[in-house]
Amino acid sequence: MRILQSLAFVASFAGLLVNAQDACKPQDRTFSTEQTPAGNYQPASVFMSPASQLSPKFYISVVNLTPHRFILENTHSYQMSTFDFGDVPQGKSRQNAIKYRNRIATQDDAGEAYYRIYGTDKKFALRVKGTGPLVDQRSVTLDLSGMNLGQRIYQFPGGESSVTLVITGSSKYGFYASLRHDRGGWMRWIYNTIKDRPVRHLFLPGTHDSGMSKITNKIRSIGNSFNTQNQGINIYDQLRAGARWFDLRVGSVHDDNNPARNLGFHTLHVNDETATVCIGNSGESLDEVISEINLFTRENPGELIFLSVRYLIGRYETPDRGPIYWGAQLWNDFLSKIRGVNNRCPNLDTSVPFQNQPASYFMDRNDGKGCVIFLLNGQNLKDVPKEAVGDGLYAQNRIGVRDHWSNIQDINALAPDQISNWKDLKRGGDKDFGQFHIAQWLATPNAVASTAYSLQGFAIQQVNPALYWAGVAGMSPESWPNVMMVDYIGVQQRDQMSWNMLSAEMYWLGIGMNLYVISENCDVNKLKSPLVKARDLESAGGEKSWNGIIFADGRSIDHPSPELHPGHTTILRNGTIFANGTVLETTIPNPWI
C-alpha cells in the first residue's frame, strides 16, 4: 500500500515537472503590442465609380500570425509616387500602400519589397509590375519561394482595394501561407491545439446566407444575383475554404394553387419571411446542401460544423399571400430530409451549454468522424417541436450566442462597429465572457446600392479586404469573435468562383487565430504555444511542401525553374527609389533576388 502510494506520488511529481516545462507562461508571450500605421478603407466614392476602379492606388496587406517579426529589408520602386511598406510585428497586420505615378502602365514600372522573418532563414518578396500598356495591365506577385511556399500572381486589384497575404506557423512548426488552400479538415489537423478548449474559445470562419451561392428562382420575386446572392461557392467549397458556421435559411415552397403541395425545401434569402408579400429569391436546395455536407465530411472526418437554421416556414411560389407555418407533416418531411445528413450528433448533454463543452466533446463523436450540429431558430415553429434532440437538431439557445449584425452599408462605419463589439469581451480567467460571439463582417447595403454594385462587389472590394488589416488589428489573445461571418468567402476576383481562382486568406486566418493568437492567452491555453514547442505536437502539418507558381488566370505549375520569379525586375533604372529615400542616379543590375 505504502509503496503504491509513493509510486503514485513520484508519478504525479514527474507529471508536475513536465507540466511546468510545457506550461504556457505569460512571460513567453510573443504577441506584439506595437501598432502598425492605420490603413485606409476603400472609399465609397471610389467603389461606386467605374472610372475610379482604374485608380492607380492599391494595397498589399500582410498578416503575421507567427511568433516572429517580419522585417522589411529593403524596397525599390520605379514610376511610383507611394511605395509604403514596413515591418509587420507578431500577431499584427500592415496595409502597405502603392500608388503608381501614372494611370497608364509603362512596362518598365516595377516595385519590390523584400522581407525577412526574424530569427529564421526565411524570406519573401512582394512585387508589383506593369505587364502591358493598359491601365489594368499590372500585377501583384507574392513570392514565397524563399519559404518553399510558392508564388502567386494576382491581377492588379486597383480601385484602392487590396491583395492580402496571411502567413502562420513558425520556424519550429513549419510555415503556411494563404496563396492556396490546404486539405479541408483544418480542425482535425490542429486537434491537439484545440481539443481541450471550450467552443467559446475557438475561432471559426463562417458564412452569411450560406445557401445563396446561386439564384434558383424557386419563388417568383425580384431578388437577383446582384442583390440576393451572398456567396460565390457552394457549401462543399465553403467547408473546404474553412467555414464551420453556416447561416442557413430554409423554407418550403408551395404550389400557388394548392398550398398542401410542397414543391421542395430550399434555402431562401428574403427581406421578411413572415411578411404578406416578401421579396428575395431561392438558392441551393436542401438536398444539395445535404449532399455537399456529406461529401465534405466523408473526405474530411472529425470536424465540428454548426448549421444555424432559420426561416423554417413555407412560402407560395409567388410569395404574395403570407407565410405557411409548418404543421406536423412539413416538420416531419423536413426531419426526414435532415436524417440524411451523416455525422449528426443526437442526444448531446443539454445540461451544459454547448459553448462550454470542449471541442473534443464534439470532434470525437461518431467514432472520431465529428459532429454536424443543427441549431434551430424556432421563432416560426408554432405548433411543432422546436428541436429534435434524438435526431441531432437542437434549439439555438442550447448555445449561448451573442450575434452582432451591424446593419450598416459603409465599411468605414461597419468595421469599427464590429470591432468595438468584440473588443470588450475578455477571454479566459475570471472575467471570461462566457458566451459565443458571432461577428457579421458584412455590409448591408440598401436595395438600390446592392442592385447597382452587387453584394459581391461590396464583399470582395471593400469589406473582406478590410478584415485583414482593420479586423486583425482589432483582435488579440484576449479578445476575438468566435465566428467571423462573411459574404463571398474565398472569392478574390470578381465572378471567378472556380476553386483554383479562390484565395485562401480566411482559411489561414482561421487556423492562425487558433494556432497562434489564442494560444498566446495562458488563461485559455494552459500549454505552451504549439508554435514555440517542437513540431511533434500535431500530426505532421498540411500537404507536402509546394513551391510552384499560381498565375493570375488560375493556371499553375508545380515545378518552375528556380530562376522564374514573375514580376521580378533584373535591372534597377535610373530614378529608382529605395526604402531609405535614396534615388538611384544610374541604371544598375538588381542586386536582390
Ligand X SMILES: *[C@@H]1O[C@H](CO)[C@@H](O)[C@H](O)[C@H]1NC(C)=O
Reading the block at residue 176, the C-alpha cell is: 503556411
Instruction: Single out the residue of 274, 280, 292, 279 nearest to residue 212, CA to CA.
Output: 280
- Residue among 74 and 435 whose Cβ is closer to ligand X: 74
Determine the residue type at 416. P
Q: What is the DSSP string of 157-211?
A: --TT-EEEEEEEEETTTEEEETTS---S-HHHHTHHHHTTSBGGG--EEEESSTT
CB contact at 8 A, 482 and 433:
no
For the CB of residue 573, give the shortest distance to ligand X in the complex, in Å: 9
Q: C-alpha grid cell for residue 265?
A: 425545401
Burial class, 535, CB count within 10 angstroms (exposed 0-12 / middle 13-18 / buried 19+): middle
- Give 96 or 193: the residue with its C-beta nearer to ligand X: 96
Q: Give least dist CB 590 to ligand X, A.
A: 11
For the bound state, the minimum distance from the C-beta of residue 582 to ligand X, rounded and expressed in Å, comes to 4
Positions that interact with ligand X (CB under 6 A): 74, 574-575, 578, 580, 582, 585-586
Query: Residue 424 or residue 585: which is nearer to ligand X going by CB?
Result: 585
Distance from C-alpha of 124 to C-alpha of 117, rounded to nearest angstrom:
8
Q: What is the chain's length?
A: 593
Residue 309 backbone dihedrals phi, psi, to 5 degrees: -110, 130
| C-alpha gyration radius of the chain | 25
Residue 206 contacts residue 438 (beta carbons within 8 Å): yes
Q: Which three cell numbers stand for residue 449?
A: 446600392
For 40-182, where are the alpha helices, taking DSSP H only? 44-47
Q: Minimum distance between the CB of residue 59 and ligand X, rounded to whole angstroms?
A: 24
For residues 563 and 585, which CB has a smaller minimum distance to ligand X in the complex?
Answer: 585
Minimal CA–CA distance to 193: which of 540, 529, 426, 534?
Answer: 529
As measured in angstroms, the least distance from the Cβ of 574 to ligand X is 4
Give me the least distance between CB of 571 and ligand X, in Å please. 13
Which residue number, 77 or 355, has a Cβ lying nearer to ligand X? 77
Please report how close the Cβ of residue 76 comes to ligand X at its closest, in angstroms. Answer: 7
Nearer to ligand X, 271 or 574 (CB): 574
Could you give the angle at the alpha carbon of 237 between the alpha carbons of 232 and 238, nearest 5°? 75
Quick one: 114 or 265, whose CB is closer to ligand X?
114
Rounded to whole angstroms, what are the CA distances from 360 to 171, 363, 434, 481? 27, 5, 18, 20
Q: Which is nearer to ligand X, 327 or 575 (CB)?
A: 575
The minimum distance between CB 74 and ligand X, in angstroms, equals 5
Looking at beta carbons only, is 74 or 274 nearer to ligand X? 74
User: Would you say 81 or 582 has its CB closer to ligand X?
Assistant: 582
Q: What is the nearest approach in angstroms of ligand X to the Cβ of residue 111?
A: 14
Give 282: exposed, middle or buried? Use CB within 10 Å, 0-12, 13-18, 19+.
buried
Rounded to a whole number of angstroms, the minimum distance from the CB of residue 578 to ligand X is 4
As beta bridge partners, residue 253 has 264, 315
**CA neighbours closer than 13 Å in the CB half-sphere of residue 466:** 26
